[in-house]
Amino acid sequence: MSPTKEQIDQFLAKQRKLPKHIAIIMDGNGRWAQQKGLPRERGHEAGAETLDKIVTISAKLGLEYLTLYAFSTENWGRPQTEVDALMHLLVETIKCQLPNMMSNNIRLLAIGDIDRLPKESKESLLAAIEETSHNNGLNLTLALSYSSRWEITKAVKEIVKEVRKGNISEEMITEEMISNHLCTTNTPDPDLLIRTGGEQRISNYLLWQVAYAELYFTPTYWPDFDEQALMLAIDDYSNRERRYGLTGEQITTGIH
Ligand code: IPE
Ligand code: IPE
Ligand code: MG
């Protein structure tokens, strides 16, 4: 059940720290459906309902960035019927979500090789990005036709081109410059990476950006993930000590 405003305020008040950016690998739709004797596509439909819940609660919790892995480069290799169903669902979900995004001040963004999407999916995505572009609450990024190795390869090519043209020298290449050539420019790195569905792997998601993210794996299939489950993950995050290579003492005293 969706928590009340009072419950949300109570929850926020007791957190020691809050993540600014949560990234989620929304996994387990297919197994959720198969377990119920349903076709995998039904799992994706149920997953779209979870997406709705999680986006809404994230906005209510005051989260600044939510980045959802919706479709990977490797997912193009799935059976064509499943790919088609997912692309169709994308259009439907965006249409359904648009009023919610407007009323909750959510700005939609996308990362990935968007040009590979079918025309209709790409158009509805770009239209929603445009329509929500003036919203300044939650930044909701959908990773679509996305893979981290694709993104890093693209960045390397762009930087090499700049060097070749003589615009920059090899010595000028910094971590910051590389970050700025990734699709996630202007987005802070995720603080918390959640993967549902029981697998404990990254599957080509935000490899560069999650260098110091806290990882949270849950066996819950994505369609069963809900507001309480997200709050539990945030609560877990809030009790972790992020050390970034330093000692615990350096972190607690702030002397380094
Ligand atoms: C995640 O659920 C959704 C996408 C990858 C598009 P899956 O479809 O991977 O579900 P499982 O992992 O097979 O259960
Ligand atoms: C990762 O899930 C991609 C998305 C959630 C969109 P997969 O189901 O594709 O990942 P693997 O194949 O189990 O690693
Ligand atoms: Mg999967």
CA distance 62 to 65: 9
**31 and 92 together in one domain:** yes
Q: In the prediction, which pLDDT does 142 show? A: 98
Which residue among 25, 26, 31 is best mutated to probe the pocket of ligand 1, counting the most ligand atoms within 8 A of its Cβ?
31
**140 and 159 together in one domain:** no
Residue 73 resides in a domain: yes
Report yes or no: 140 and 108 within 8 Å, Cβ to Cβ: yes
Residue 246 resides in a domain: no
Q: Which ligand is nearest to the CA of 33?
A: 1
Residues recognised as catalytic = 27, 75
3: helix, coil or strand?
A: coil
Q: With 0-12 CB in 10 A as exposed, 13-18 as middle and 19+ as buried, what is 47? A: buried
Q: In the prediction, which pLDDT does 1 show? A: 80
Query: Looking at ligand 2, which atom is closest to the CA of residue 199?
Result: 13
* Confidence band, pLDDT 50/70/90 cuts, at residue 107: very high
Number of domains in the chain: 2
**51 and 128 together in one domain:** yes
* pLDDT tens string 139-184: 999 999 999 999 999 999 999 999 999 999 999 999 999 999 999 9
Residues within 6 Å of ligand 2 by CB: 25-27, 69-72, 74-75, 199, 201, 203
* Confidence band, pLDDT 50/70/90 cuts, at residue 28: very high
Q: What is the pTM of this model?
A: 0.98
Residue 45 resides in a domain: yes
Instruction: Compute the mean pLDDT over every residue in the chain, rounded to the nearest whole number.
Output: 97
Quote the DSSP letter at residue 192: E
* pLDDT tens string 209-254: 999 999 999 999 999 999 999 999 999 999 999 999 999 999 999 9
Query: Looking at ligand 2, which atom is closest to the CA of residue 71?
Result: 6
**227 and 158 together in one domain:** no
What CATH code is carried by the domain that includes residue 99? 3.40.1180.10
**175 and 233 together in one domain:** no
Does 47 appear as a known binding residue? no
Residue 153: which residues within 8 A CB-CB, separation 6 or more?
A: none
Residue 36 resides in a domain: yes
Residue 91 has pLDDT above 90, yes or no: yes
Q: In the prediction, which pLDDT does 78 show? A: 98
Cα–Cα distance list, 12 to 7, 18, 51 (Å):
9, 8, 21
- Of 58, 237, 217, the residue nearest 140 (C-alpha): 58
Residue 234 resides in a domain: yes
Which residue among 27, 50, 71, 195 is best mutated to probe the pocket of ligand 2, counting the most ligand atoms within 8 A of its Cβ?
27
Give the range of the structural domain holding residue 27, as residue numbers without chain letter: 18-146+215-240
**173 and 225 together in one domain:** no
